[in-house]
Structure 1
Amino acid sequence: MKLSVLDQVPISRHSSPEEALQQTLELAKWTEELGYHRYWVAEHHNTNGLASSSPEIIMTRIASVTETIRVGSGGVLLPQYSPYKIAENFKTIAAFFPDRIDLGVGRSPGGSQLTRSALTDNTNKSLADFPRQLADLQGFLHNTLPREHDFRLVKAGPRVEKVPPLWVLGLSERGAKNAAELGAGFVFGHFISPANGKQALETYRDYFQASVSMDRPESIVCIFVVCAETTEMAEEMALTQDKWLLSVGKGADTKVPTLEEVKRKAFSPEEIEIMQENRKRCVVGNPEEVKKELIRLSDMYQTDEFMVITNIHDFEMKLKSYQLLAEAFG
């Protein structure tokens, strides 16, 4: 089983973006030491609780303080940008850190319509262009655009020897088909929409076509995990993530709350029901319990790699969670 990390660079209550970014560097070095395979950074905009607005810059900093762990984006929001510019950004990073960089891209609009308009400079790009943009991005990465393409003579530089592998993030069969027909890797967001996972992964394998990016299907499942020495400790630590997810779902404050703050709050029956439903997106427990559940999900999804996201308030407990998980899998 391969274990990897997805980092949204969450900002905890009473903390700052500067501290959150420093913790990202610490977590990257720690998980590399523990043997994690990849460390990917998400992209979010117009939020007070996540400092991950520029994954490419954060990736470069992470790669500069680590030595072996693969570093990637999870993911760059392709509909808002130029495929050509993304190819150049990632080939440049790959030139600094050969054979360590992954390019993960998603279809998300990046936030509200107003936020998206700011990102696209009011060009009103259509999300329906995503498959075409994916094909263009792959073409710019590998210099394989078809002869009839308008930009066939435009080359994305620098001309690196090791081009970053292309991964598509998705939540449904549509995303799985996009990845499969392009011959890219597929990352399923169990941490967002677990109900669609089994069918999406099956669709990906069924439709996969070998390409310049990959010659066989490769998949990752991203999931929330909170692991502690005892079940009781894990459940208590997970309360801050439960409350954070509740706030995110409401479009409210996205800073990770303290445990004391959560314990003081009186939740309505509707809020409790939402938090219980959100637990389907998570694995919470002691190392033996977490390992057992991840093995079950691995069998169901037919994947051998999980990308773990842990958004709890206590940073030391977050480090411990990743450590216990790594030790559980040896």
Structure 2
Amino acid sequence: MLKISVLDQAPISKGSNPEETLQNTIKLAKWTESLGYYRYWVAEHHNTSGLASSSPEILMTQIAASTHKIRIGSGGILLPQYSPYKIAENAKTLSALYPNRIDLGFGNSPGGSPITQKALTDNHIKPKEDFYRQVSDLQGFLHNTLSRNHEYRLVKAGPRIDNPPAMWLLGLTENGAKNAAQLGIGFVFGHFINPKYGKIAMKRYNKDFVPSVNHKEPTTIICIFVVCAETDEKAEELAITQDKWLLNVGKGLGTKVQPREEINIEEYTKEELEQIEENRKRCIVGSPTTVKTELHKLAEFYQTNEFMIITNIYNFEDKKRSYQLIAEEMLSDS
């Protein structure tokens, strides 16, 4: 049976605010836990008015405190912008507070525009080719496995717990998959961002995987947009708000999710309609039966057993219902 999990970017709907949005994140985490979802991860975004998830570690703490068993994670920490040592200490502290429930997902994103990246790093931007070393150092700090000749070998990341969080590298390319494989780290492929290199990335990861203190065998998750409703027609209607949001994000416009009544499909240009069609390659939209069928097809395509679902539609109750219908269909045999 496929595992289903959640990625939450904490998108702010027009007319709402960050305070309400973050409270909805807590509500959605509790709701999806009750439905049987396996993980609940929160994203990291900066310098945007439409996404409230700018500090995943803090948000993870509140979500973990508000839930009981669902795994809580970051999807993902922007490793190049921070110190691997400090990330390790934050993650180990979370794991000490909530043992065997914390996932440390991280990626190689710049975190936003060039000026945003400068602000995040205090203008100490690391070269892209340094990422593998940073991942290796992070693993060393988490598990106390830095080599004897490492300059920070005597620096221990605290608290010194027995079971550090699982590491997951978020990637979009074959190179990211190769990095994850060589270090024995779980790999999350961002189908919801760009599915173009998904097949080749997953093949590389499984082929090159080297067991480590983190994972003994290849472990993968596919992250994808999903909008589900009772019928295909109703799901399509709900997905219009996500289509518009993705269109705006792609244009660098406002990132708040607009209500359906503000969206006039007839006003779309030919280019916008083509872009929406292209964006739909990153999504599954439909009834529970349709969603289940498509997820199983993708599971076979990617050779994975877990999907992380992201749903950025306008109405929060419709979002809750979407996750409910997916769980009832996908987990009905459990």
Q: TM-score range by the shorter chain?
A: over 0.9
Q: What does residue 158 of structure 1 align with?
A: 159
Q: Distance in 1 between matches of 2:79 and 2:128?
A: 9
Q: Which amino acid aligns with 1:114?
A: I
Deviation (angstroms), 1:265: 6.8
Counterpart in the other structure of 1:186: 187
**Deviation for aligned residue 1:195:** 1.7
1:314 alignment counterpart: 315
Deviations 1:98-128 (A, max 9, x none): 0000000000000011000000001121122
Could you say which residue in structure 1 is the equivalent of 2:294? 293
SS state of the match for residue 308, structure 1?
Answer: strand
**Separation (CA, whole Å) in 2 of partners of 1:30 and 1:287:** 18
Q: Distance in 2 between matches of 1:3 and 1:218?
A: 14
Match of 2:81 in 1: 80
Give the structure 2 partner of residue 274 of structure 1: 275
Amino acid at match of 1:122: N
How does 1:226-265 map onto structure 2 within 5 Å?
Answer: 226-263=227-264
Q: Distance in 2 between matches of 1:265 and 1:212?
A: 55
Partners of 1:284 and 1:152 lie apart in 2 by 50
The amino acid across from 1:136 in the alignment is D
Q: How far apart, in 2, do the equivalents of 1:168 and 1:106 lie?
A: 6
In 1, distance between residues paired with 2:133 and 2:252? 31
Match of 1:10 in 2: 11
Pair 1:171-2:172 in alignment:
yes
Q: Distance in 2 between matches of 1:242 and 1:127?
A: 32
**Amino acid in structure 2 at the alignment position of 1:33:** S
Tell me, in whole angstroms, the C-alpha distance in 1 between the residues paired with 2:8 and 2:129: 27
Q: What CA deviation, in whole Å up to 9, does each residue of 1:144-202 have, x standing for no partner?
A: 00011000000000001221010000001011001000000000000011121111111
State whether residues 36 and 69 of structure 1, in contact with CA within 8 Å, keep that contact through their aligned partners in structure 2: yes
C-alpha distance in 2 between matches for 1:194 and 1:264: 25
Tell me, in whole angstroms, the C-alpha distance in 1 between the residues paired with 2:289 and 2:166. 33
Q: How does 1:212-231 map to 2 (within 5 A)?
A: 212-231=213-232
Identify the residue that residue 70 of structure 1 maps to in structure 2. 71
- Corresponding residue for residue 129 of structure 1: 130
Q: Which amino acid aligns with 2:103?
A: D
SS at match of 1:194: coil
- 1-structure distance, mates of 2:261, 2:126: 44
Q: Percent identity?
A: 64
RMSD: 0.7
Partners of 1:210 and 1:25 in 2: how far apart?
35
The structural deviation recorded for 1:264 is 6.8
SS at match of 1:162: coil
Structure 2 unaligned spans of 5+: none
The 3-state SS of whatever aligns with 2:187 is strand
**Alignment map for 1:11-26 (pairs within 5 Å):** 11-26=12-27
For residue 263 of structure 1, report the CA deviation from its aligned partner.
2.9
Q: Which residue of 2 aligns with 1:144?
A: 145
- Tell me, in whole angstroms, the C-alpha distance in 2 between the residues paired with 1:78 and 1:235: 36
Q: Quick check: 1:109–1:127 contact (8 Å CA) kept in 2?
A: no
Residues 1:101 and 2:80 aligned together:
no
1:251-296: CA deviation from partner (whole Å, max 9, x where unpaired): 1100011011113771111111101100000000000011000000
TM-score with structure 2 length normalisation? 0.98
* Counterpart position of 2:212: 211
| In structure 2, C-alpha distance between the alignment counterparts of 1:266 and 1:17, rounded to whole Å | 30
**Aligned partner of 1:255: which letter?**
K
Is there any run of 5+ residues in structure 1 with no aligned partner, and where? none
Q: Which residue in the other structure is 2:285 paired with?
A: 284
CA–CA distance in 2 between the matches of 1:21 and 1:124? 30
